[in-house]
Chains A and B, each alone.
Chain A
Amino acid sequence: MKNIRFINILVIIASIAIILNCTENTIPFNLSDSDFNVDTLTIRSIDGGTYLAPPIMGSTNGLYFGNADGFTNLFSLIQFSSISLNGTVRTYSLLDTSVTVDSLVVSFIASKDSLLTDSEFELYYFAEGGDSVFSELESNYTNITEADVANAISIGKSTFTQGVPDSTESIYPKLSFNIENIDDVLKFIADTTNTQNRAFMLKNVDAIGEIVSIQSRESLDYPVIDIYYRVDDDSSHSIFFPLKDLTIVEPRDLTDADINNISIGRATGLKSIIKFDFGTLPIDSTSMVIKSAELIFNSISENELDGYEIKAAILEDSLAVENYWEINEDKYAIEQDMIMTGTVKNNQMKMEIRSFLQGINTGSYSNFGLKLYGSTSSDPFQSTNLIFDVNNSDNNPYLKIIYVEL
């Protein structure tokens, strides 16, 4: 037993020594012969063209009204959820005979804190099949016209109102429709016959000579339906939020600058395709990492758009490119998992696309090119014209690659 006790003590001492008696310092050594080094490569073999497709205004930060700069905003469509924000109240439960609805208000908040128009707005609902009226991803002025929404039923009219802010807050103008014929509207939005029918249409009654924007479902103050009701004398309040919305806009006419450059603008319907010749690219992902791959375009000086954002998506299929072409529907499929963003500053658009190059190297993507389109966070009525001139290579786009090589 004595021996075992002695051994146990030694083991404990050794364990403590193991913990305490370790010093680790790196050894200085000349590793300059290492194959790990940095290098650069500039790619100028870039081809591209601009195409025009009917503008899809879903997913933008605003719903737009008014006519300006050649754009005509016809109307906006909004579909609400059947379930309230806290997830416990469904619209059909409001039809229960034990429920008394006291008020039903549909509200919209302006995108800017200044009151831009005195125009009246009119809110409509669709008596039947409202939710199938539009698609956020496909509806545009060519496939949904005013004739298609002529059967919409007016709920009421309203104008923007704005509270007086104190010194520390901003109060945004609000457009509220206090529904008077509650029962009719409630029945159509709380339809229990499984007919999806919670879409509304909003349009300005008076002509507006500028672009007025209200916040869409992508924004912080999205449109809502406020419903105050009682259940057996207990008062309650539920808010219903939008599921999809968009504005139907007729674009302006194109200019020569739009057609002769790499042009991008959401409301104009301008998008572009660019393709790279990576034939000389000695990049192998098994032995190197791309530190940066910056795509640089110069933009025409007449159109300064500092801060304008452009998105780039990777094309899934091969595509023939011309200088300019038009299509009725944009069916150019893109990789959904990789969207890159470029920003215009000082007449240059810079975009980091190393993920695209890395994906090509690893075989995740094919080098079919990039689709450039306007970001939802930028003003959709602006467009940028990036210089692409086969006769003047100095001004043409180029790709600056910095890579670390093993």
Chain B
Amino acid sequence: MLNYKKLFIFTVLLISTLFSQSLLNGYGFGKKVDVYDSASLGISSTGLLPSFKEDVSLQNPSTWKNLNFTYFTGNYHAEQNIILDNIVNSVSDLGSAQLIVPIKNKYAFGIGLHPYFDQYLKLNGVDEDDYIAYGDTMATHHSYNSFGGATAFNISLASTINKYFNAAISFDYLYGSGRQQTVFSLDNINYYSQQRHIYEGSLAKIFINSDVLSSWDIPVNLFFGLGFPVQSISVESYYYRPFEDSNNSGAQDNNDFPLLSNTTTPEAINTNDVSAPYEYQFGFDYNLKKGLRVLGEFSRWEDKKKNGASFSALNDQIQLIDHYSMSIVRFAPRLPKNIFDRFNYKIGTYSNNIILLNSKNNINEYGLSTGLSFKFGITKNQIDFAYSIGKRNGLFELENEKIQKFSIGITVGDIWFVKRRAQ
């Protein structure tokens, strides 16, 4: 167990909200991170549908009672975005971590960390211009940078309700901070305006899954999710006084104007109820034949508040994301006969429809995904590989964006809450 502890601590330390930059990260509090575990990425699911094992999703606690071992899972995530056909951004990081403890195939609980909002964005103004002041011509240029985002600390509880229904509730405590820089260059001297926002909020999500249709010999599992804010997201904002970066160091110091030692404390403003995300999810898992599943999902993420635009340099916020996905999974049999029986094979397709609040701009995203899982060890540890490719249309000024995601998930199991026989 010592090694598991080390792995858990290492993973938690490295988890961040560092995802590749996209224009969507500049709206409101940033882009909602929709998929963060490898198994779900393979089927383009938000995590509602079983993708890890038969009837188990690592992100849907109502399915955890189907696990026989305690699992710890961590994900390495890489993402590449290509904008305007030639501007490539890519980044990779450990993406999420989750500890899942099933109890007697009836109950389960789990704790985890996963990214929620991503704000990483660096815009370079194409608006270079000259300004004539008192006869002197000065070149001007704008740029904008934002960093950070919000992370969710997650606690989940699950229970079997009856023969056909399982339910779970999970709580996400959101925390994190973002920093925004607006940079105005005048004759190659940069002027910075900076803000820092600290986010806090808590969300709850109820999961239900049911195979009630099996009583009519319809081999379908149904999945529902309803997310709502327990405490809407509040923001503690710090507005720093602008400064001239006289020595071009990228930060304010005592060679700048005004001097760092002469700056006053930033203006602090607390704003409550700035974001109230709701989620409505529905999905099905149809058992075509033993081990072969067809899965479909609809998820809607909606921010009921309209304050996010004022925290965005792009003066807009993501109001709604509709997610549709379809996938086919061939799960490995319980008793593998050969090496190929140790693999899960997945293929999926998805479509996202994103609506912005102010511009009412409609951004469409669609793509394909595939995944491969390999089981090993007595406790049925698993390593998941997933790859997704997609295209986003309708981005203001940028037209489209190509997205590639690659993820590796490692899940290791152990036996908890089982009485071991005396040696």
Contacts and interface: CB of A to CB of B under 8 A. Distances in A.
B23 A27 contact: yes
Contact of B125 (A30, A287, A364, A404): A30
A406 B7 contact: no
Interface residues of B, number: 60
Interface string B400-423: 000000001010100000000000
Contacts of B87: 25-28
A103 B146 CA distance: 72
Contacts of B345: none
By secondary structure, the B interface counts as strand
B26 to A, nearest CB: 9
B244 interface: yes
Contact of B126 (A10, A21, A29, A290): A29
A332 interface: no
B125 A32 contact: yes
Contact of A34 (B93, B184, B258, B264): B184
A147 interface: no
Interface string A24-53: 111111111010111010000000000000
A22 B91 contact: yes
Contacts of B398: 27, 29
A38 B133 contact: yes
Contact of A32 (B127, B131, B239): B127
Interface stretch (B76-84, B162-170, B328-336): B76-84
A341 B377 CA distance: 78
Interface stretch (A11-19, A266-274, A298-306, A374-382): A11-19
Contact of B124 (A11, A17, A29): A29
A18 B184 contact: no
Contact of B243 (A6, A34, A289): A289
A31 B144 contact: yes
B84 A28 contact: yes
B191 A30 contact: no
A147 B76 CA distance: 90
A9 to B, nearest CB: 11
Interface of A: 3-4, 6-7, 10-11, 14, 17-18, 21-32, 34, 36-38, 40, 285-291, 354-355, 358-359, 362, 364, 400, 402, 404, 406
Report, nearest first, the 5 A-B pairs whose CB atoms are least far apart.
A26-B124, A32-B127, A31-B142, A31-B125, A36-B184
22 contacts: A3-B412, A4-B3, A6-B376, A7-B7, A17-B92, A21-B90, A23-B89, A27-B83, A28-B84, A31-B127, A31-B144, A32-B129, A34-B125, A36-B184, A38-B131, A38-B184, A289-B243, A359-B262, A362-B264, A402-B133, A402-B134, A406-B193
